[in-house]
């Protein structure tokens, strides 16, 4: 059996999938969102508990050598409050309570880059308070901002990763395997085109058949264990958004939309300055921007397909997150699906990290 692992704030299991693929034995997991738990059960295992972590008696959590997960990111987000004042921020300390109860040899704590600058009510940096609290519990902490694209994910997604280990040994993060340009030591970043070019144009059906063989290493990896393409229905758009999208070139955004297009939102963006990703069209030769939980909305993120007049499908977003095609979403709502996908740790990144942690834990 692999290293016994427990998972908190597990979501649909992107992080857990990578660790499971690396041979870790995940014995217990938890999340508060029903849709996420149902998807986790269908793809990872039945060991997940649907409950608010603050209401769980920590004594029932089984002992394990590794704890993985990251509290909801909203409190630390660059677009949210800088001060940790709401309940979601306090979930950080629930993670700490589990550390105290379970006493794992190591832990992995994942969060948004906003964690680096988030402050407590007292004005302290949250990350410094966290590291201090972990140290008081006997852990040596390493942390780094990691870009998923540097490890084979077709997405420029930066996250803070903290890895703690009991004792004095310090974890060394894995060296990047990919870069913007290919070199002797690194592969070229996996691009949007690399990730999506084998998928057929979507229609009204949620399920589609493959119409071409896989065209590269990434597509081969994504198709393993899958015979059909699910979650690939054509996203719905308003007539106005269809007109707007028609005027956005590859790599363009709302600034490319002519002034005569009758959109109050576009006019406001132009007057006040919207994010450069708003109404953005993907660049096929590059990794995508961060996939968020609103990839079904053209005004929130760079979500327009590079070669067609439409938004990306749920499956295409999952590809850009490096979820294999065999992963099946179980959700009664489209919103639930978008949340599961947008909040996930890319499984390919998770596996690279897991392999390095397995090597590290074999020596402690």
73 is catalytic: yes
Is 110:69 a contact under the CB 8 Å cutoff?
Answer: yes
Within the chain, residue ranges assigned H as helices are: 14-21, 34-43, 87-102, 126-136, 192-196, 217-223, 239-246, 264-272, 314-320, 334-343, 347-361
DSSP letter at 40?
H
CA atoms within 13 A on the CB side of 217: 8
Determine the Cα–Cα distance for residues 153 and 320; give it in Å rounded to an integer: 7
Tokens of 34: 């029903």
Paired tokens of 96: 């700490």
C-alpha 163/C-alpha 10 separation (Å) is: 17
- Strand locations in the chain (E): 4-8, 25-31, 48-50, 66-69, 106-112, 139-147, 158-166, 178-179, 187-188, 208-209, 228-229
Reported residue count of the chain is: 364
The residue from 73, 106, 278, 302 that is catalytic is 73
Q: Which residues have a catalytic role annotated?
A: 73
């Amino acid at each position: 059996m692999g290293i016994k692992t427990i998972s908190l704030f597990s979501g649909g299991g992107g992080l857990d999938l990578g660790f499971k693929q690396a041979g870790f034995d995940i014995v217990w997991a938890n999340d508060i969102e029903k849709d996420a738990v149902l998807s986790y059960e269908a793809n990872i295992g039945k060991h997940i508990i649907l409950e608010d972590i603050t209401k769980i008696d920590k004594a029932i959590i089984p002992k394990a050598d590794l704890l993985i997960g990251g509290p909801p990111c909203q409190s630390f987000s660059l677009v949210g409050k800088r001060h940790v004042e709401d309940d979601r921020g306090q979930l950080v300390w629930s993670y700490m309570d589990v550390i105290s109860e379970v006493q794992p040899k190591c832990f992995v704590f994942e969060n948004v880059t906003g964690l680096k600058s988030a402050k407590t009510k007292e004005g302290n940096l949250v990350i410094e308070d966290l590291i201090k609290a972990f140290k008081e519990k006997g852990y040596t902490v390493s942390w780094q901002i990691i870009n998923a694209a540097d490890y084979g994910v077709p997405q420029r997604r930066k996250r803070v990763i903290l890895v703690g280990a009991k004792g004095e040994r310090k974890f060394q993060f894995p060296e990047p395997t990919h870069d913007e340009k290919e070199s002797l030591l690194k592969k070229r970043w996996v691009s949007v085109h690399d990730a999506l070019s084998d998928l057929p144009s979507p229609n009204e059906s949620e399920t589609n058949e493959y119409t071409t063989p896989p065209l590269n290493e990434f597509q081969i990896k994504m198709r393993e264990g899958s015979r059909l393409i699910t979650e690939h229905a054509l996203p719905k758009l308003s007539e106005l958004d269809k007109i707007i999208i028609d005027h956005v070139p590859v790599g363009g955004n709302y600034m490319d939309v002519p002034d005569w297009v009758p959109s109050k939102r576009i006019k406001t963006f132009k007057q006040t300055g919207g994010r450069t990703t708003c109404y953005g069209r993907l660049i096929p030769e590059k990794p995508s921007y961060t996939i968020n939980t609103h990839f079904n909305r053209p005004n929130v993120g760079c979500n327009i397909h590079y070669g067609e007049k439409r938004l990306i499908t749920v499956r295409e977003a999952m590809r850009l997150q490096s979820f294999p095609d065999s992963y099946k979403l179980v959700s009664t709502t489209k919103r639930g699906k978008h949340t599961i996908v947008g909040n996930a740790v890319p499984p390919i990144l998770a596996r690279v990290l897991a392999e390095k942690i397995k090597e590290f834990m074999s020596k402690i």
